[in-house]
Amino acid sequence: MNFLPTLRDLVIVYQAFERYSAPNIKALGLTMTQFDVIATLGNQPPMTCKELGEKTLVTKGTLTGVLERLELKGVIFREANSGDGRSQLIALTKEGQQLFEKVFPEHLDFLNQAFSKLSNEENVEIQHALKKLNSIF
């Protein structure tokens, strides 16, 4: 059970990141989940709900409600998928793309304030460690 300290540190880091990141996203007028969806759809071709779910950190059950709310706000639209009649394609509206172009760089600048405290070598080292950890699951 020598992995327990690693597991604990991983959870602590994730929670710290959430505490740091969430207030900035809230100040931009979004929830973390809405930001995740908008950031994933930004500058991308329309994608199915399944593809969107695979590319975000959002569960299918949560994603449905978030998409409904974003659609009501005029941020996304859905259209029939001509390649698969059982699914819909989801994309940002013009207003949604403008929102993405505003909030995404602002949030990246905010995150850069923290990540810039790491050297390039430290960033690479962390990336390798996280990829290795991910590969075991």
Q: How confident is the model over 78-127, as pLDDT tens digits?
A: 998 888 878 899 999 999 999 999 999 999 999 999 999 999 999 999 99
pLDDT tens by residue, 50-76 = 999 999 978 888 999 999 999 999 999
Ordered domains of the chain (ranges, CATH): 4-135 (1.10.10.10)
Tokens 């905010």, residue located: 110
- Please give the Cα distance from 1 to 13 (Å, whole number): 20
pLDDT at 30: 96
Mean pLDDT of 32-44: 96
Burial class (CB in 10 A: 0-12, 13-18, 19+), 32: middle
Q: Across the strands, what pairs with 1?
A: none
Band of residue 5 on the pLDDT scale cut at 50, 70, 90: very high
What residues contact 67, with CB distance under 8 A and at least 6 apart?
37, 49, 76, 78, 90
Residue 44 has pLDDT above 90, yes or no: yes
Best CA proximity match to 34, nearest among 22, 46, 16: 22
Q: Across the strands, what pairs with 19?
A: none
Q: What is the pTM of this model?
A: 0.87
Tokens 């013009």, residue located: 94
Mean pLDDT of 31-48: 96
